[in-house]
Structure 1
């Protein structure tokens, strides 16, 4: 799935001003929760205060749910279905757990406005760490690292669901396309390889110039976005299905 971001920027719902709301939310949240840590919880309280007025069980019918306003496809794509069908039906701790997975893949840009206001980063948000690299395989069974082989190319990969979310499966297809290790994590190595692929400067940071280059490559009109938004990921998934997975 995430940069795609998991929701469109919108005006916060019943947002409260000042530190009292955040402090109160932290105090209530401390009862009966085991993870994540207090510092990560605090920054997520600030994001929630911006996104939903700090209401972790909110469902206004706008298509986004819970304190961090998850789109249902993002929620299920990152494992939220193990807790509840929709984010607002899960506990605050469970919503933060899924948010940390989204943060690890999509970065703070998944909450483009509120992450800035809350000061959210991968570090202070407790982003779920990337898995340790797999052990090197035996020579007779070389790892599929994204390059074609004489024996028939890549292992089978199902077509991507065109949902506009740059989740782990879409990221794996991107990695196959650009020739990096296929771990489903959109990190600096994958970012630089994709930047090179679409003709952007490979600095490992996905920003407006990289986004514009990708939109040019895919034949989309530039929209000034700074992350992989819905329309861009949708077009990218179509391109990957046709040219990489096919």
Structure 2
């Protein structure tokens, strides 16, 4: 891995995205709009206060997963990746460059979404706002890294969408949005312990309600970081030069 090449890859990706206003809107604005829609839907009820932290985990995670996986796949389908790897650029440089570029966008996205949820939608936070932002950003970065991993296996954009039921939907269903994880059947609760989104939702709920101390939230952040690093390493190992 060469930091200069990684940074050059990240800069190229950010330049491409800057010239695509629709992608910028999708990344930075749509999650906040969806959170606002949920808040409006449950206006004058306590429901948004209960599910708001989970929404702050779900929408950025899903959007970062989709955009990152499709953008990376297009690099392979267009032959760009093959040309880049013919230069002194390793697969790890490529993956890290993409992770850095979309990670920076994830920081902006999560910061905007969290600020919007608290300041505009009225989500009440009993814990630290700094920890709330840290978890929201880690969750969005996690969506980015899992998107990079999925793109290594997909051959078409349609196959990326097919990964949604396999990678994203189980995490949504077992993450504690529909029912508390400790109220699930024991087998499903055990499975949910191995799903990264569950830990993001648990951490956001803990910060929102103040039900756990900061040490618990930091522990969940470390788990999210481990999943993200694992996805990057596995993605760099399995990435193919081009799609046949």
TM-score by length of 1: 0.28
Q: Per residue, is there more helix in 1 or in 2?
A: 2
